[in-house]
């Protein structure tokens, strides 16, 4: 069975013509129903019964099952454990801001990147998600919420650029006027720094916000906490970032997880300043969130604010990311592709 949500609009047109032998406008009808959130083919009321039967026999709507839902008592953040068709689990997080709802979605079951501070990589990578499974997260959570989600961050489990094709198709579907109609400017994609894919993405000239997980200002420290740095060191990564900015004219957001005694000294802040000077960028500081196996700790509030202050003084905009949903293990780096590992 094929998941109809795996297809971009153009691919669906082709499928309708070539595999179903139907006129092109059927694709328009089917596509629109998919993202209106129908849960059965019988709800596609403007299709003939015979076409609906044909669809049922070979395709699925790719609906994900909500296995568990946790709601934070601090800030209403919701963490969803979603089950895929093959029995695997992923997590998505819904955050409420004054400007609307943002969903944080996963791109893989597990992750192969091995960052020392992150829970998502503990069991390695099981597999990549399809485009339909990525968009299925938005659909499932939106349906449960009963309201429209306005922003998407690809910052959940997995490395999105290690699943380039599916992520690219997802970006086509989500942006389509008959799809979810969420503009690329409302979408952020975060990567640990896969240089060739960053360059490829630059060439697509999309209007999404690129976030780079930097987390250190020297190769020595970065390689210790992020194995990817041994392959693509900081200089190469920043070259790729400059290329991205040149192609898209978009400001890059650098994520910097502050870990006590590892990368949070004033010297590190000054070195970071030097690295980023003159770039069209912004730094998002994330006080490290607890992950049982790592033992990493946050420094005190003063040291975090001091780090921010040094960057700002040097002319780089820096914000401290608000922690959300820590009581339900929904914060950055706390998501896992497994059931039953609560807290």
As a whole number of angstroms, the distance between CA 204 and CA 168 comes to 10
91 is annotated as an active-site residue: yes
In the region spanning residues 103 to 142, those forming contacts with ligand SAH, defined by CB under 6 A, are: 113, 115, 117-118
Contacts with ligand SAH in 301-340 (CB under 6 A)? 332-333
Residue 286 makes contact with ligand SAH by CB under 6 A: yes
Do 64 and 54 form a contact (C-beta atoms < 8 A)? no
- List 163, 213, 221, 263, residue binding ligand SAH (CB under 6 A): 213
- Core vs surface per residue 330-340: b (16+ CB within 10 A) or e: bbbbbbbbbee
Of 3 and 130, which has the nearer Cβ to ligand SAH? Answer: 130
Strand 187-191 and strand 151-154: pairing? parallel
Which member of 61, 206, 269, 288 binds ligand SAH (CB under 6 A)? 288
Does residue 225 bind ligand SAH (CB under 6 A)? Answer: no
Residue 191 interacting with ligand SAH (CB under 6 A): yes
The Cα-based distances of 172 to 11, 24, 86, 182, 287 in angstroms read: 11, 19, 25, 10, 33
Contact 319, 291 (CB under 8 A): no
289 touches ligand SAH by CB under 6 A: yes
How far apart CA 316 and CA 307 sit, in angstroms, is: 11
Q: Which of 13, 91, 255, 268 is labelled catalytic?
A: 91
Out of 138, 192, 237, 330, the only residue in the binding site for ligand SAH (CB under 6 A) is: 192
Return d(Cα 115, Cα 112) in angstroms, integer: 9
- Tell me the site size for ligand SAH, rule CB under 6 A: 18
Does 155 help bind ligand SAH (rule: CB under 6 A)?
A: yes
State which H helix or E strand residue 32 sits in: helix 25-36
Dist. CA 109–CA 71, nearest whole Å: 22
Token representation of residue 260: 């006590």
Site string for ligand SAH, 232-261 (x = CB under 6 A): -----------------------x-x----
Kindly state the smallest distance separating residue 142's Cβ from ligand SAH, in Å. 21
Please select the residue that binds ligand SAH; options are 159, 210, 248, 310, rule is CB under 6 A: 159
Task: Give SS3 for 35.
Answer: helix
In this structure, the number of other CB atoms found within 10 A of the CB of residue 150 comes to: 14
Q: 4 vs 152, which CB is nearer to ligand SAH?
A: 152
End-to-end CA, the chain = 36
CB of 127 to ligand SAH, least distance (A): 15
Residues 2-31 as x/- pattern, contact with ligand SAH by CB under 6 A: ------------------------------
DSSP 8-state symbol, 301: H
- Residue number with CB closer to ligand SAH (148 or 251): 251
Alpha-carbon torsion (107, 73, 264, 224), positive or negative: negative
Q: Which stretch binds ligand SAH (CB under 6 A): 43-51, 240-248, 286-294, 302-310?
A: 286-294
State the DSSP code for 138.
H
Q: Smallest gap, in angstroms, from Cβ of residue 178 to ligand SAH?
A: 28
- 91 is a site residue for ligand SAH (CB under 6 A): no
Q: Which residues bind ligand SAH (CB under 6 A)?
A: 113, 115, 117-118, 155, 159, 190-192, 213, 255, 257, 286, 288-289, 291, 332-333
Catalytic site positions: 91, 332
């Amino acid at each position: 069975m094929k998941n109809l949500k795996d297809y971009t609009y153009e691919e669906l047109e082709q499928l309708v013509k070539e595999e179903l032998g139907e006129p092109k406008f059927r694709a328009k009808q089917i596509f629109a129903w998919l993202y209106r959130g129908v849960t059965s083919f019988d709800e596609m009321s403007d299709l003939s019964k015979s076409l609906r039967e044909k669809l049922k026999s070979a395709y699925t709507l790719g609906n994900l099952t909500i296995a568990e839902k946790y709601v934070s008592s601090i800030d209403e953040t919701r963490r969803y454990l979603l089950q895929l068709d093959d029995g695997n689990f992923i997590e998505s997080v819904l955050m409420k801001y004054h400007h609307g709802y943002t969903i944080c979605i996963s791109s893989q079951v597990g992750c192969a990147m091995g960052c020392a501070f992150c829970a998502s990589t503990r069991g390695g990578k099981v597999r990549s998600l399809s485009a339909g499974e990525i968009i299925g997260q938005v659909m499932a959570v939106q349906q449960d919420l009963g309201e429209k989600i306005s922003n998407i961050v690809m910052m959940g489990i997995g490395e999105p650029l290690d699943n380039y094709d599916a992520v690219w198709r997802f970006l086509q579907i989500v942006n389509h006027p008959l799809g979810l109609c969420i503009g690329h400017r409302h979408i952020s994609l975060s990567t640990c720094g896969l240089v060739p894919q960053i360059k490829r993405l630059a060439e697509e000239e999309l209007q999404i916000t690129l976030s780079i997980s930097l987390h250190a200002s020297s190769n020595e420290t970065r390689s210790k906490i992020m194995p990817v740095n041994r392959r693509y060191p900081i200089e190469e990564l920043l070259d790729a970032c400059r290329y991205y900015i040149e192609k898209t004219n978009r400001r890059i957001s650098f994520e910097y997880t502050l870990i006590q005694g590892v990368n949070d000294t004033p010297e590190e802040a000054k070195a970071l300043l030097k690295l980023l000077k003159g770039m069209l960028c912004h730094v998002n500081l994330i006080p490290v969130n607890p992950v049982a196996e790592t033992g990493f700790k946050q420094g005190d509030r003063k040291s975090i604010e001091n780090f921010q202050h040094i960057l700002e003084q040097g002319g780089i905009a820096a914000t401290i990311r608000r922690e959300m949903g820590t009581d339900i293990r929904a914060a950055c780096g706390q998501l896992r592709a497994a059931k039953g590992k609560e807290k």
